Structure 1
Amino acid sequence: MNFMRQFVALTFNFSFKEELMSIMDTLKEEGIQGKYYDLDNLHMTLAFFGETDRQDEIMEIIHSIPFPEITITLNRIGHFKKIYWVGIKDNPVLDEYVNTLRKALKAHDIPFDDKPFYPHITILRKAEEGDRTLQEVSTKDIKVELLQAHYLEEGLKYLPYNEQSLIAKINKIYQQKGHVTIAIDGRCGSGKTTLANKLKAYFDCHIFHMDDFYLQEYQRTQERYNEPGGNVDRERFKKEVLEPLKEHHDVLYRPFDCSTMSISEGTLYSYKPINIIEGSYSCHPELIDAYDLSIFVDIDESLRLKRIEKRNGKEALDMFIKKWIPLEEKYFSSFDIQNHCDFYFNAGR
């Protein structure tokens, strides 16, 4: 097993990483060339281990130290040799957290690079030099994670430790059975699609979305909406996606088009042995037996509402609060979905 390049780091929400991408775009427009970081790889290193096989101990230390409420504010671009980085405003709370973390690592005799902590986010390597100031951008949506470098077909990816265990499990099932069907269920705004896309970067697979199977017009009755999990066309999804996959057949994928209130002609997906079913209601009791592995993605309520408003707008947020979220919660509680899944992730922790 390759333990190369493992480290504890802060990771950020999508909107904050988009701000970092905008900074990189500005550098590109100025003609500065080099190896720019991918959005998914942006992070702030707190402690670097290199090679280690003590991930479980490190995770226990991370969980034992409460992570304080911290606001990270970007305020400048700097460089060291041929590396560009984004700096932050002085943050005594973060400095104290890192000091506590590193003391705990030392107390457990876990070796790491003990250079002084200078908080920064690397955005570009192998580049020209030049410092700049920035219009300040802040975020409180931060997580502490143990990351590991993976060299995939499309390049380097940093994956959290809990996602590494998921990848190992998928590989194990695939080696045993020769095929894997994975369901990713969970609350709206929690990052189900993001997780599916991360797995797709690692595996040669298809992703099928439950959101493409809205109820057809004749199904939209009050009786149907009263059913826990009744507001998706699970019958059509089972017939057109899950049953062909079970027989190792191609899938004619026909999303529901809300603009015309009809089913599209669709696209033929050639069979692949690894497939991901993404979306709320994917683990409905009528569907769950089709999966080899199931995942529940959770999110704290305040963060969920912020993400939905940013993604869908204020008017849509009201609809989520009044209609879609209550329908989801009824489904989750009626079938105890979270406790029936093999893996649990929380987007806010």
Structure 2
Amino acid sequence: MDDRPEPPTRRVFVALAPPDDAKDELARALRPASARYPRLRWNRIEDWHITLAFLGELPTTAVPLLQSALAGTAGARPALELALRGGGHFDHRLLWSGVAGDLDGLHRLADDVREVVRSCGIGFRDRPLYPHLTLARARRDDLVSVPGGAADLAAFAGRPWPTARLHLVGSNIGRGPGPIHYRDVESWPFGPAAPAHR
């Protein structure tokens, strides 16, 4: 148990998490790349997520209001059907897996989440959504491994899965040495599926 006092701010973001079997499927596809490119800083499988809104450092006092608002957002929306698909990179430094499926619904969800955050009086840098799941980062002197890993994933097509919950996630930045780890502050189930039209 961590007996240290709660810090005055928390570094948080809102995200979706693939189910364990979808992550396991991707992890199996990544084995050749992880063996071939050991110098990459690979993210832990339990930390894999699809970010909808990165909020940065928030005052701890802002979190309860945000939790209540996000709970309502999740409960009012049905689950989306998504899949992990292919691979790519940003600037030779960040390796990712792409996201396929109901991308229109995913963008609408991200827009709703960001509007809810703003309605709570929380300011953040509103970056365009490029749906992806970050897998690894290159070291400064390595500009080859990430594109190679992306090429290894080009043909990957994961099975479809429904989004189960909306997650408010905190990181351990500023809480001591070691790698960054993420943990749920809280998560909320999505509402029931819309009825089928006859």
Q: Do they superpose with TM above 0.5?
A: yes
Q: Secondary structure at the match of 1:137?
A: coil
TM-fit CA distance, 1:154? 6.3
Whether 2:136 is the aligned partner of 1:124: answer: yes
Q: Secondary structure at the match of 1:114?
A: coil
Cα distance in 2, alignment partners of residues 101 and 141 from structure 1: 15
Write the letter of the residue equivalent to 1:14: D
**Highest Rg: 1 or 2?**
1
- Contact (CA 8 Å) 2:26, 2:158: kept in 1 or not? no
- Aligned with residue 155 of structure 1, among 149, 160, 179: 179
- Aligned with residue 164 of structure 2, among 142, 148, 168: 142
Whether 2:85 is the aligned partner of 1:79: answer: no
* 1:275-329 Cα deviation digits (max 9, x unpaired): xxxxxxxxxxxxxxxxxxxxxxxx9xxxxxxxxxxxxxxxxxxxxxxxxxxxxxx
Q: Secondary structure at the match of 2:146?
A: coil
Query: Residues 333-348 of structure 1 correspond to what in structure 2 (within 5 A)?
Result: none
- Give structure 1 stretches of 5+ with no counterpart: 164-298, 300-349
Higher relative contact order (CA 8 A, sep 6+): 2
Cα distance in 2, alignment partners of residues 133 and 5 from structure 1: 35
Cα distance in 2, alignment partners of residues 112 and 6 from structure 1: 11
Label 1:3 to 1:67 Cα distance change in 2 as closer, same or farther (>3 A): farther
* 1:205-253 Cα deviation digits (max 9, x unpaired): xxxxxxxxxxxxxxxxxxxxxxxxxxxxxxxxxxxxxxxxxxxxxxxxx
Match of 1:218 in 2: none
Query: Residues 160-179 of structure 1 correspond to what in structure 2 (within 5 A)?
Result: 160-162=184-186
RMSD: 2.4
User: After TM superposition, where is structure 1 displaced by more than 3 Å over at least 4 residues in a row?
Assistant: 29-33, 151-155
- Aligned with residue 9 of structure 1, among 4, 12, 15: 15
Larger proportion of helix: 1
Match of 1:190 in 2: none
Label 1:115 to 1:153 Cα distance change in 2 as closer, same or farther (>3 A): closer
Label 1:8 to 1:29 Cα distance change in 2 as closer, same or farther (>3 A): same
TM-fit CA distance, 1:4? 4.6
Match of 1:169 in 2: none
Cα distance in 2, alignment partners of residues 32 and 101 from structure 1: 36
- Give structure 2 stretches of 5+ with no counterpart: 1-6, 139-144, 190-198
- Aligned with residue 68 of structure 1, among 59, 62, 78: 78
Whether 2:45 is the aligned partner of 1:39: answer: yes
Identity across the alignment (%): 22
Whether 2:23 is the aligned partner of 1:23: answer: no
- Contact (CA 8 Å) 1:3, 1:50: kept in 2 or not? no
Q: Secondary structure at the match of 1:74?
A: strand
Cα distance in 2, alignment partners of residues 96 and 12 from structure 1: 18
- Contact (CA 8 Å) 2:70, 2:116: kept in 1 or not? no
- Contact (CA 8 Å) 1:40, 1:157: kept in 2 or not? no
Cα distance in 2, alignment partners of residues 46 and 15 from structure 1: 21
